[in-house]
C-alpha cells in the first residue's frame, strides 16, 4: 500500500518527486528540495513553511493517477523560463505541470497561490495540463507567463473562480466535461477562454487581449446568463481580433469593447442583452440578435456574409455604418438608431443611464444591452500584489455594510497604513490614511461615503490596505 503523506518534511520532498527524463535511461541527480521535476508518487503538500514559500519547477512535474498535490495558500510556484530539464511533454523546451491525479490549489483573498515564470515574461513556461480522469480545484490563483494557463482535457467537472491569468498565449482551454467559471480575469493574453464541447456556465469574467486572437469562443451547452440578473456583473471582452465567437451558442450579458469584431456567429447562434462598443464591427450575426446595443463601432451590425439573421429590439447608433444587410438576408424589426445615453463610456461604463429610452424598449418591456453593476476591464490591477509584498491580515466588519465599516489590520511591520475603496470600474471612491503605527493591530474606519462626502452607491466594492510594500485586498458589499 502506498504511504499517504499530507505534509512533507524537507528531505522527503526529493523522494516523492521521482524524476524520469523523456529520452534517457539515466535519471538526473535529485534536485534541491524546493526544486521540482519528475513524478509525484505520493500525496504531497507544497507548504508555506520551509522549504517554501517558493518552489521552482525545473522540468516537467507529473502528478500520477490517484495522487493529490496540494498547494497551500500563499505559496509561489515558479516554472523555469524557456527550458525543460526533462525535455518532454507537449512543450519539450518548456516546463509543464501535468495532472493525472488531483491538484488542489485553493488560495484565499489574503493569500493567493501563484504559478509564475522565473523571468516574469510572456509565454515562458508550458502549461497546467489536466488529463483524462484527473481533476483540480483552483480558487484565488494567479497564473502568469504560460503558453496555456490551464489546459483542461478531463470530463470531470471543473469549477474555477477568482483567478487571474496574465501574459499567456491562451488563458484557458477546456475541451470536455462541465465548466463553472466565475470572476476569471485574463490580461495581456493572445487568446482568452477557448471552450469546446462543454456544458456549464461562464459569468462575470474580464478578458483583455493583445490585439489578436479570440477572447471568448463557446459552443452549445455553455450558459452566460447570470443567476441573479439584478446584481451580477456582465462579462467584459476587450482587445482581441475577435471578441466573442459563438458556434450554435446562446450568449447573454456580455460587453465587447475595442475588438476587431465584437461578436461573431460561426454557426447559427442567439445573442441577446449584449453591448458592442468601439469595435471594428460590433455584431457579425448568423442566427439572431435581440435586446442589444451597437454603439461607436466602425460597423454596427452586419450578417456573416449572406447568411440568414434576425435583428429585433436592437439599437445601432453612432457607428460608421449602423446596419449592413449583405444579400438582403437580415430580417429587421423593432430597430432604432438613437443615443442610448450610457452612464460613463469614458471609463468603459456602458450601462444605460437613467432616463434612457431603451430602459423599457426590450422584447419583454425591460431594458436592452448588458446589465448589472459595472466592472471595467482593468479592475484586476487592484487584485494583484506587488513583488515582494507581505500580506496584511485584515478583518472587515460588518460586511455587507450599511454605513460604518471597520478594517482591523494586523501589520507585519511598522509604518503608516492606507485603505482605499475602489468601485468596479477601477475608480477610487475613498482614500483613508492613518499615522505611522508599529507592528500589530490597528483599525481604519470607513463611514460609507465617497471623497465628496456623498454616500457610496449600494453595490460591490474592492478594498485595498497597504503599509509600505505590505498589502491586502478584498471585497465589501454596501447595502441600503
Instruction: Express each pLDDT in 165-176 by its tens digit.
Output: 999 999 999 988
pTM of the predicted structure, to 2 decimals? 0.76
Q: How far is CA 96 from CA 8, 116, 126, 127, 470, in A?
A: 22, 11, 5, 5, 31
Pick the closest to residue 22 from 101, 91, 78 (CA basis). 91
Banded pLDDT at 249 (limits 50, 70, 90): very high
Q: For the chain, what percent of residues have pLDDT higher than 90?
A: 50
Distance CA 19, CA 29 (A): 9
Distance CA 211, CA 190 (A): 7
Residue 9 has pLDDT above 70, yes or no: no
Residue 418 has pLDDT above 50, yes or no: yes
R_g of the chain computed on alpha carbons:
24
- CB 397: neighbour CB atoms within 10 A? 11
| Residue 383: predicted pLDDT | 43
pLDDT digits (tens, 9 = 90+) for 30-69: 456 689 999 999 999 999 998 889 999 999 999 999 999 9
Helical (H) or strand (E) element with 184: strand 178-189
Whether omega before 51 lies within 30 degrees of 0, making that bond cis, reads yes
Identical fold for domains 10-360 and 386-478, yes or no, is: no
pLDDT digits (tens, 9 = 90+) for 111-159: 889 999 999 899 999 999 999 999 999 988 999 999 999 999 999 999 9
| Residue 425: predicted pLDDT | 59
Q: For the chain, what percent of residues have pLDDT higher than 70?
A: 85
Residue 16 has pLDDT above 80, yes or no: no
- CB 159: neighbour CB atoms within 10 A? 15
Region 24-32: what's the mean pLDDT? 45
For residue 401, give the DSSP letter: B
| Residue 380: predicted pLDDT | 37
| Residue 390: predicted pLDDT | 59
Banded pLDDT at 356 (limits 50, 70, 90): confident
Residue 185 has pLDDT above 80, yes or no: yes
Residue 231 has pLDDT above 90, yes or no: no
CB–CB of 379/386 below 8 Å?
no
Instruction: Report the half-sphere exposure of 338 (CA within 13 A, side-chain side).
Output: 13
Helical (H) or strand (E) element with 255: strand 254-257
| Residue 31: predicted pLDDT | 52
Lowest-pLDDT choice from 144-158, 323-337, 413-427: 413-427
What does residue 359 show for φ and ψ, rounded to 5 degrees?
-70, -20
Pick the closest to residue 40 from 71, 19, 24, 9 (CA basis). 19
Q: Where are the domains positioned within the chain?
A: 10-360, 386-478
465 or 23: which carries more pLDDT confidence? 465
First to last CA, the chain: 58
Instruction: Given CATH 2.160.20, say whether it is the number of domain 10-360.
Output: yes
CB–CB of 161/181 below 8 Å?
yes
Distance CA 179, CA 25 (A): 40
| Residue 100: predicted pLDDT | 97
| Residue 428: predicted pLDDT | 77
For residue 455, give the DSSP letter: B
Instruction: Report the half-sphere exposure of 70 (CA within 13 A, side-chain side).
Output: 13
Residue 391 has pLDDT above 70, yes or no: no
- CB 196: neighbour CB atoms within 10 A? 18
| Residue 218: predicted pLDDT | 93
| Residue 10: predicted pLDDT | 31
pLDDT digits (tens, 9 = 90+) for 187-209: 999 999 999 889 998 988 889 99
CB–CB of 47/24 below 8 Å?
no
| Residue 115: predicted pLDDT | 96
| Residue 340: predicted pLDDT | 92
Which fold, 386-478?
Immunoglobulin-like (2.60.40)
Look over the chain and give the mean of its residue pLDDT values, rounded to a whole number: 84
Residue 2 has pLDDT above 50, yes or no: no
Pick the closest to residue 53 from 114, 96, 121, 120 (CA basis). 114
Pick the closest to residue 236 from 196, 278, 199 (CA basis). 278
Distance CA 457, CA 116 (A): 37
Q: How far is CA 362 from CA 73, 314, 374, in A?
A: 46, 8, 20
Residues whose CB is less than 8 angstroms from the CB of residue 163 and which lie 6 or more positions away in sequence, other chains included: 138, 139, 140, 141, 142, 143, 183, 184, 185
Helix (H, G, I), strand (E, B) or coil at 366: coil
Counts for the chain of helices (H) and strands (E), in that order: 1, 42
Lowest-pLDDT choice from 184-188, 193-197, 355-359: 355-359
- Angle formed at CA 44 by CA 42 and CA 45, multiple of 5 degrees: 175
Amino acid at each position: 500500500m502506498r504511504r499517504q503523506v499530507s505534509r512533507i518534511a524537507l528531505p522527503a520532498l526529493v523522494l516523492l518527486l521521482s524524476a524520469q527524463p523523456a529520452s534517457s535511461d539515466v535519471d538526473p541527480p535529485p534536485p534541491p528540495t524546493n526544486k521540482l521535476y519528475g513524478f509525484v508518487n505520493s500525496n504531497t503538500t507544497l507548504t508555506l513553511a520551509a522549504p517554501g514559500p517558493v518552489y521552482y519547477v525545473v522540468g516537467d512535474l507529473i502528478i500520477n493517477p490517484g495522487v493529490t498535490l496540494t498547494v497551500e495558500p500563499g505559496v509561489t510556484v515558479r516554472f523555469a523560463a524557456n527550458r525543460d530539464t526533462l525535455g518532454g511533454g507537449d512543450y519539450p523546451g518548456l516546463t509543464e505541470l501535468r495532472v493525472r491525479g488531483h491538484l488542489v490549489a485553493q488560495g484565499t483573498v489574503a493569500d493567493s497561490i501563484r504559478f509564475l515564470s522565473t523571468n516574469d515574461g510572456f509565454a515562458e513556461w508550458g502549461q497546467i495540463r489536466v488529463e483524462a480522469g484527473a481533476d483540480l480545484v483552483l480558487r484565488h490563483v494567479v497564473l502568469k507567463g504560460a503558453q496555456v494557463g490551464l489546459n483542461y482535457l478531463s470530463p470531470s467537472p471543473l469549477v474555477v473562480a477568482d483567478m487571474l491569468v496574465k501574459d499567456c498565449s491562451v488563458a484557458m482551454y477546456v475541451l470536455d466535461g462541465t465548466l463553472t467559471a466565475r470572476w476569471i480575469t485574463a490580461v495581456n493574453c493572445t487568446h482568452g477562454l477557448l471552450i469546446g464541447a462543454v456544458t456549464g456556465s461562464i459569468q462575470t469574467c474580464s478578458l483583455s487581449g493583445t490585439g489578436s486572437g479570440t477572447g471568448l469562443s463557446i459552443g452549445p451547452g455553455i450558459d452566460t446568463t447570470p443567476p441573479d440578473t439584478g446584481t451580477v456583473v456582465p462579462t467584459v471582452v476587450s482587445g482581441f481580433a475577435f471578441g466573442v465567437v459563438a458556434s450554435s451558442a446562446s450568449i447573454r450579458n456580455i460587453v465587447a469593447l475595442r475588438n476587431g469584431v465584437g461578436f461573431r456567429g460561426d454557426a447559427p447562434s442567439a445573442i441577446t442583452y449584449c453591448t458592442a462598443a468601439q469595435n471594428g464591427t460590433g455584431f457579425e450575426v448568423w442566427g439572431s440578435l435581440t435586446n442589444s446595443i451597437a454603439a461607436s463601432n466602425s460597423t454596427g451590425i452586419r450578417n456573416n456574409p449572406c447568411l440568414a439573421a434576425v435583428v429585433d429590439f436592437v439599437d445601432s447608433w453612432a457607428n460608421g455604418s449602423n446596419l449592413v444587410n449583405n444579400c438582403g438576408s437580415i430580417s429587421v424589426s423593432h430597430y432604432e438608431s438613437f443615443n442610448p445615453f450610457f452612464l460613463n463610456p469614458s471609463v468603459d461604463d456602458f450601462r444605460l443611464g437613467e432616463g434612457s429610452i431603451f430602459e423599457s424598449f426590450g422584447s419583454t418591456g425591460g431594458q436592452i444591452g448588458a446589465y448589472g453593476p459595472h466592472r471595467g476591464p482593468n479592475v484586476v490591477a487592484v487584485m494583484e500584489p506587488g513583488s515582494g509584498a507581505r500580506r496584511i491580515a485584515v478583518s472587515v466588519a460588518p460586511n455587507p455594510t450599511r454605513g460604518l465599516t471597520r478594517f482591523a489590520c494586523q501589520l507585519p511591520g511598522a509604518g503608516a497604513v492606507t485603505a482605499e475603496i475602489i468601485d468596479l470600474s477601477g475608480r477610487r471612491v475613498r482614500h483613508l490614511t492613518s499615522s505611522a503605527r508599529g507592528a500589530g493591530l490597528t483599525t481604519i474606519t470607513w463611514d460609507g461615503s465617497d471623497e465628496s462626502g456623498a454616500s457610496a452607491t449600494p453595490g460591490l466594492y474592492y478594498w485595498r490596505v497597504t503599509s509600505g510594500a505590505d498589502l491586502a485586498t478584498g471585497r465589501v458589499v454596501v447595502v441600503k
